Amino acid sequence: MTCPACTRAAQRSSYQFQHGCRGCAARSVAHLPQYREAKKLRDSRHRPYVLLLEAMGVTHEDVREAVKNDVALQREAAR
Determine the structural domain holding residue 21 and report its residue range. 4-78
Question: 31: Cβ–Cβ under 8 A, 6 or more apart, which residues?
Answer: 15, 72, 73
pLDDT at 1: 55
C-alpha to C-alpha distance for 22 and 40, rounded to whole angstroms: 24
pLDDT digits (tens, 9 = 90+) for 49-76: 999 999 999 999 999 999 999 988 888 7
Task: Report the interhelical angle of 4-11 vs 60-69 (nearest 10°).
Answer: 50
C-alpha to C-alpha distance for 44 and 21, rounded to whole angstroms: 22
- What's the pTM? 0.89
pLDDT digits (tens, 9 = 90+) for 5-50: 999 999 998 889 999 999 999 999 999 999 999 999 999 999 999 9
The domain total for the chain is 1
